[in-house]
Structure 1
């Protein structure tokens, strides 16, 4: 289905924008921008394909790199036109990328005959691994480990997608439902700071010997 490939490229482009914004925030040079945009865009899909033991999706398809470089270049040009960008711009584009990647990763796993549980796990991995690599390279704590709901929104999106398929919805409608639920929940988590608290507030020094 051609539209699946276009959805994949849109997710690639959005995550490349996210990586470029992170590089801009850290004042990296041109090479750093391209590296960060690339690992953010294809890191999760690469790890997913390696685990699923299938050819890595971008090996024989240059359109992925065209999407990455085009998105990075456009973002650079826009950033050079202004001195500041809204604080939540990175999180906004990251949320869009999550919505695309979770559904595409889940569908790819389903196509390979995995269980629904594994498919959701692969979709979540597709979405969060690239951002984790990006944040580690930026010497930040990855978004998935801090702050508002992140990986949970990916799981919700994947589950909604699979439930919609089982309910008889078309693939396209199920994708829209899954993406919309994920994106909406992620934005709500950012706006209202929704979290899953495990530890209460405490001092960094636990008084250990």
Structure 2
């Protein structure tokens, strides 16, 4: 009886080792919410047959899994930093303490991204799980904490920072939604919510009416146009670092120009005036 048990155990161990080394196709399903890059590599390797996963495939899977930011890491990190600075500066204007400054910076810099990740199923959200994002938000708060005497009177500076965060987050939010295989419409909605989410959370926590809801400012409209342009570029296979930066610059310019020339969104229709 004992030799039989030993032989059975050895066969099971050999089977598991062969599967691990790629000599036998795994039966585990492809994760439904995995990024599109990972799913394409896994499905392609499975289609080629057992043991056919190349080093290139493995490198692609590792690179896609380890990269939390969909296209350009620098874009989203800059967006987090800029958004965090706008939140920290708003906290300074409200005379918040150091903890309140950090919290408002975190909310403004990462609030939209957290909402985006929850909506597309990318959990846990990078805003609470990726130390690079959290450290970037804290860095933005630290800059404002020490240099606010020169900036706290500059309300225009907050608006410019917020415009930059709006543009950056609208683009990267749309791309991440598309990488998680949402529809084009869903990706546009996710992009807009990523763009405006941090600013809305910042205004609510600081006791202000969210800028997207009052004064008929062109705030959500530039984000909508930027997200739509990004989705169309993705559909055409034309999303590159150059085109992404171009869309970011266009959204930022539209937002700043609307403030400079006081362009307003249409108000309620008042009917025919006699």
Give me the TM-score of the superposition, normalised by structure 1.
0.88
Residue 151 of structure 1 is matched in structure 2 by 220
Residue 171 of structure 1 is matched in structure 2 by 240
Question: Aligned to 2:265, which of 175, 196, 200?
Answer: 196
Shift of 1:84: 4.9
Moved more, 190-199 or 18-27: 190-199
8 Å contact kept, 1:164–1:177: no
8 Å contact kept, 1:161–1:178: yes
Distance 1:165 1:54 in 2: 20
Distance 2:191 2:246 in 1: 15
Matches within 5 A, 1:69-108: 69-80=138-149, 82=150, 84-108=152-176
- Root-mean-square deviation (Å): 1.9
Residue 209 of structure 2 is matched in structure 1 by 141
Structure 1 position 161 matched with structure 2 position 227: no
Distance 2:140 2:111 in 1: 16
Which structure has the higher relative contact order (CA within 8 Å, separation 6+)? 1
1:37-91 per-residue CA deviation (whole Å, 9 max, x = no partner) reads 01111111111111112211134320111101111111221113x3753331111
Shift of 1:139: 1.3
Distance 1:183 1:17 in 2: 17
- Taking structure 1 as reference, are residues 7 and 84 closer, same or farther at Cα in structure 2, changes over 3 Å only? closer
Alignment size in residue pairs: 200
Shift of 1:165: 3.7
Distance 1:83 1:99 in 2: 22
8 Å contact kept, 2:226–2:251: yes
8 Å contact kept, 2:92–2:152: no
Unaligned runs of 5+ residues in structure 2 are 1-66
Give me the TM-score of the superposition, normalised by structure 2.
0.68
Shift of 1:166: 4.1
Unaligned runs of 5+ residues in structure 1 are 202-209
- Taking structure 1 as reference, are residues 170 and 125 closer, same or farther at Cα in structure 2, changes over 3 Å only? closer
Residue 30 of structure 2 is matched in structure 1 by none
